[in-house]
Structure formats: structure tokens, C-alpha cells
């Protein structure tokens, strides 16, 4: 498994763990108090996503290979697929919030940062999945 696959797996693990822990904390707090304010604190675990490229360092030797042409092509495709999916989801979420609330009402202010956070997480998940799928299609000959 190369550096980019490790980064993609760690991104998926951090995002899944954050969603699970945050959802559980919100459910428990809603059950106890009737409303939740603690959920935003658990989203801070997503700060680990900023450090994933540093966790899997590049080779220290001057002749060490970081990535070849295939790796660069996979990364470019993954980012392209992720951004395409991101815009589809972002537009769908904004129109869905409009359809749910209706034209005569206003969207609650908490909805807007949640849409941005959800779309950003979707972007990271889509990019990581695209990387893993593209490496998985190569077979054993390309490793």
C-alpha cells in the first residue's frame, strides 16, 4: 500500500469515527436535555484530516520516489471526480433545504454551516474513495 492509499484510508476512518461519535453524543444529549450543543465540539476531531499528509511522510533519501505518472494521474482523476460529485451534492442539499422549508419560510441559520460541513466531508470521502477504487482496479501487475 502506497502513501496515497494510506492517506485515503485514514481520511475515511477519521470521518467515519467522527460521524459516529458526534451522532452518539448528540443523541445522548438530546435524550437528556432535549436539545444539543455538544455536537460541534466532537467535530473538532476532523482537525486530524489536516495532519494526514504529514503522518505518511515522503521518502527522505534524495533518490526516493514519491509518486510516478500513474500516481499523479490517479490523484488528478480522484480530485476531478470528487469536485464533480461535491457540486452535485452541494446544489442538491441547497435545493432540498428550500423544498423542505418551503418558499414562504426561512432556512434556520444552523442549516447553512451544516450544509457546508456535510458537503466538505462528502468531498473528502469522495476523493478518498476515488483514490482507493482507482488503485484497486490496477491489479497485482501495477503495484
Contact status, residue 115 vs residue 94, Cβ threshold 8 Å: yes
Contacts of 129 by beta carbon, 8 Å cutoff, 6+ apart: 8, 12
Q: Which grid coordinates belong to 46?
A: 476532523
* Residue 61: predicted pLDDT: 63
Position 66 scores a pLDDT of: 65
List the domain boundaries for the chain: 3-58+66-142
Q: What is the pLDDT of residue 129?
A: 94
Task: Tell me how far apart the alpha carbons of residues 132 and 13 are, in angstroms, rounded to a whole number.
Answer: 13
pLDDT of residue 143: 47
Closest to 6 in 3D by CA, of 50, 49, 53: 53
Q: How many CB atoms lie within 10 A of CB 126?
A: 20
CA dihedral 96, 98, 100, 105 (to 10 degrees): 170
Give the whole-angstrom CA distance, residue 129 versus residue 4.
Answer: 11
Q: What is the pLDDT of residue 119?
A: 84
pLDDT along the chain (143 residues), means of 10: 88 91 86 78 81 72 70 90 89 86 83 82 92 79 48
- The C-alpha atoms of residue 28 and residue 37 are separated, in whole angstroms, by 11
Amino acid at each position: 500500500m502506497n502513501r496515497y492509499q494510506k492517506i485515503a484510508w485514514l481520511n475515511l476512518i477519521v470521518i467515519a469515527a467522527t460521524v459516529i461519535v458526534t451522532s452518539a453524543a448528540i443523541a445522548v444529549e438530546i435524550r437528556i436535555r432535549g436539545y444539543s450543543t455538544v455536537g460541534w465540539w466532537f467535530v473538532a476531531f476532523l482537525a486530524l484530516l489536516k495532519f494526514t499528509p504529514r503522518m505518511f511522510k515522503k521518502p527522505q533519501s534524495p533518490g526516493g520516489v514519491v509518486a510516478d505518472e500513474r500516481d499523479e494521474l490517479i490523484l488528478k482523476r480522484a480530485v476531478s471526480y470528487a469536485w464533480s460529485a461535491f457540486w452535485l451534492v452541494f446544489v442538491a442539499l441547497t435545493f432540498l433545504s428550500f423544498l423542505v422549508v418551503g418558499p414562504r419560510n426561512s432556512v434556520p441559520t444552523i442549516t447553512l454551516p451544516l450544509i457546508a460541513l456535510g458537503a466538505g466531508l462528502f468531498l473528502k470521502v469522495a476523493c478518498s474513495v476515488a483514490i482507493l477504487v482507482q488503485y484497486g482496479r490496477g491489479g497485482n501487475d501495477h503495484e
